């Protein structure tokens, strides 16, 4: 189902809290259990910020390749910086950020796992399962896999994307299932304990209007809500949402329906594709059971509310829109509690981070 989006007029409930610039482009963002912000850069560095200040608290340098993804785990008290897993090049590194050193190097890593087949097969995304026992990864070769945090055992799925796999997500309340998205415009759903493909959805390009050829629907970003709804952002300015795997909240009509053997979030008849921009959708993030944030490459952030319960009456209603102020090319967005953190490039080619706080 393909639907056009209406313009939105509501005022955003967020205001700019602080901004900062870095020598190299910000490539990824993460927020730790303590609330600290971790910003990875193209130059193989990670900077740590307190949520209330642009002053750098700690850093990692010299990883040799772009930092493409960061995962933070609790280690010690809630105020500690924790244990960091950092994707850089073909490798995933772990660092204890509670070290007394202010600047850590690759030699300070407590673990290093080679996941890419060679130096050209770089990591794109890491994601943590809900039990915090396994991390999933995606690679330029199209491979999707996981590794166990205690044993470091690596499992690669038997099926893969035809080209770059840019995004991967575990599915809440499904202890052995994950979903990935690739530049082949496919979403793949796996049983990662068996390394087998369970289902697949291929997003097709709409017919070109006025003879103008649009960008292919490469899948650049994804998010899965706690209730099991999936969203995917594409290079041609669309969001695809699938509700086939949604759990009904307790007390609602249909909540007592039998739990299905596997997640069914990729069913075509329970999906909606909606054009929201002319350029790439570089980030999507569920902030509620049916509330979704999206962000374009050029910094337009929109909050949407998903309406309807079947594929025929689904709608993605815009609630508010806002524009980035110092980030002119967005690479990453994270929404946590009352903050939205955005990172990428500034207009003068430096790295930039900006923090929005709920008014």
pLDDT tens per residue across span 82-103:
899 999 999 999 999 999 999 9
- Over its C-alpha atoms, the chain yields an Rg (Å, rounded) of 20
Distance of CA 251 to the CA centre of its chain: 31
3-state SS assignment for residue 21: strand
What's the rounded mean pLDDT across residues 353-359? 96
pLDDT of residue 145 exceeding 90: yes
CATH number of 2-23+76-95+109-250+261-324: 2.130.10.10
Q: Are 145 and 156 a contacting pair, CB within 8 Å?
A: yes
Q: Please say if the pLDDT value at position 1 is more than 60.
A: no
* Selected residue with higher pLDDT from 195 and 8: 195
* Residue 255 CB neighbours (<10 A): 10
Closest C-alpha among 67, 84, 66 to residue 75 = 84
Q: What is the pLDDT of residue 336?
A: 94
**How, if at all, do strands 186-191 and 196-202 pair?**
antiparallel
For residue range 300-345, list pLDDT tens digits in order. Answer: 999 999 999 876 789 999 999 999 999 999 999 999 989 999 999 9
User: Could you tell me the residue ranges of all domains in the chain?
Assistant: 2-23+76-95+109-250+261-324
Q: How confident is the model at residue 258 (pLDDT cuts 50, 70, 90)?
A: low
Q: Is the predicted pLDDT of residue 291 greater than 70, yes or no?
A: yes
Q: What is the mean pLDDT of residues 21-28?
A: 98
Q: Tell me the CA end-to-end span of the chain in Å, nearest whole number.
A: 36
Distance CA 147, CA 158 (A): 15
Strands 281-286 vs 300-307: parallel, antiparallel or unpaired: unpaired
- Helix (H) or strand (E) holding 327, with range, is none
3-state helix, strand, coil in the chain (%, to 5): 5, 50, 50
Contact 127/144 with Cβ under 8 angstroms? no
- Give the pLDDT band (50/70/90) at residue 240: very high
Kindly report the pTM of this predicted structure.
Answer: 0.93
3-class DSSP state of 217: coil
Q: Which helix (H) or strand (E) holds 283?
A: strand 281-286
Pairwise CA distance, residues 302 & 321, whole Å: 4
Joined tokens for residue 142: 């199209």
Q: Which residues pair with 322 in a beta bridge?
A: 301
Do residues 85 and 113 lie in contact, with contact meaning Cβ atoms separated by under 8 Å?
Answer: no
What's the chain's length in residues?
359
Distance CA 31, CA 73 (A): 10
CB atoms within 10 A of CB 16: 13
Taking the C-alpha atoms of residue 341 and residue 355, their distance in angstroms, rounded to an integer, is: 5
What was the pLDDT predicted at 78?
66
**Rounded to an integer, what distance in angstroms lies between the CA atom of residue 264 and that of residue 157?**
19
pLDDT at 255: 45
Question: What CA–CA distance (Å, rounded) separates 73 from 132?
Answer: 8
Asked if 139 contacts 131 with a C-beta cutoff of 8 angstroms, the reply is no
Residue 260 pLDDT: 77
Task: Give tens-digit pLDDT for 166-193.
Answer: 999 999 999 999 999 999 999 999 999 9
Cβ atoms of 116 and 139 closer than 8 Å: yes
């Amino acid at each position: 189902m393909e639907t056009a989006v209406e313009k939105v007029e509501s005022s955003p409930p967020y205001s700019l809290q602080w901004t900062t610039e870095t020598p190299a482009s910000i490539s990824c963002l993460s927020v730790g259990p303590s609330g600290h912000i971790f910003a990875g850069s193209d130059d193989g560095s990670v900077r740590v910020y307190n949520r209330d200040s642009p002053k750098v608290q700690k850093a990692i340098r010299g990883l040799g390749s772009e930092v493409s993804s960061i995962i933070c785990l609790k280690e010690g008290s809630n105020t500690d910086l924790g244990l960091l897993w950092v994707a850089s090049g073909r490798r995933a590194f772990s660092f204890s950020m509670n070290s007394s050193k202010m600047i850590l190097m690759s030699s300070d890593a407590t673990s290093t796992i080679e996941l890419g087949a060679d130096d050209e097969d770089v990591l794109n995304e890491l994601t943590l399962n809900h039990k915090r026992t396994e991390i999933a990864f995606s690679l330029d070769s199209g491979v999707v896999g996981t590794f166990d945090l205690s044993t470091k055992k690596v499992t690669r799925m038997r099926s893969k994307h035809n080209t770059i796999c840019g995004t991967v997500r575990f599915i809440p309340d499904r202890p052995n299932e994950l979903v990935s998205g690739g530049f082949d415009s496919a979403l793949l759903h796996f049983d990662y304990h068996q390394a087998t493909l369970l289902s697949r959805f291929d997003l097709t390009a709409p017919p070109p209007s006025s003879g103008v050829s649009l960008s292919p629907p490469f899948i650049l970003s994804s998010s899965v809500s706690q209730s099991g709804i999936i969203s995917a952002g594409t290079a041609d300015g669309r969001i695809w949402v699938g509700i086939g795997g949604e759990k009904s909240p307790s007390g609602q009509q249909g909540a007592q329906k039998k739990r299905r053997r596997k997640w069914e979030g990729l069913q075509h008849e329970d999906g909606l594709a909606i054009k929201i921009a002319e350029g790439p959708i570089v980030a999507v993030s569920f902030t509620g059971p049916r509330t979704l944030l999206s962000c374009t490459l050029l910094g337009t952030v929109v909050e949407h509310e998903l309406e309807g319960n079947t594929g025929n009456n689904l709608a993605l209603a815009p609630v508010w829109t806002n524009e980035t102020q110092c980030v002119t090319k967005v690479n990453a967005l994270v929404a946590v509690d009352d903050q939205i953190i955005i990172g990428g490039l500034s207009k003068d080619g430096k790295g930039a981070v900006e923090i929005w706080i709920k008014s």
